[in-house]
Amino acid sequence: MSKMKSDRPFGSFMATRFKIGSLVSWSEWKVVNNSMDEDIYYGTVIEKVTKINGGRPVTIIKVACSDSGEIISLNPFQLRLQETN
């Protein structure tokens, strides 16, 4: 049985959907009063970087959060592209 080999970092194909300046959203789940609660956040893509994680290259997208102004590192699988006019 052969192993698949790719020279592309993990998540790089998914990251091609997001351009610098794109408006994106992501959600975080938490337990509140014994029930699940979803918070949705919005932000702007400011950078795409590749880091070594677990011995392999992984694409990370840095986003400026609209609510807090913080720069947050997220993987491209968490993000949803939002339409703008």
3-class secondary-structure state, position 84: coil
Q: Is the pTM of this model over 0.85?
A: no
Q: What's at 51, amino acid-wise?
A: K
What's the rounded Cα separation, in Å, for the pair 46 and 68?
15
The string of pLDDT tens digits covering residues 8-37 is 899 899 999 999 999 999 999 999 889 999
The string of pLDDT tens digits covering residues 23-72 is 999 999 999 889 999 999 999 999 999 999 989 999 999 999 999 999 99
Q: Name the CATH topology of 12-80.
A: SH3 type barrels. (2.30.30)
- Break the chain into its structural domains and give their ranges: 12-80
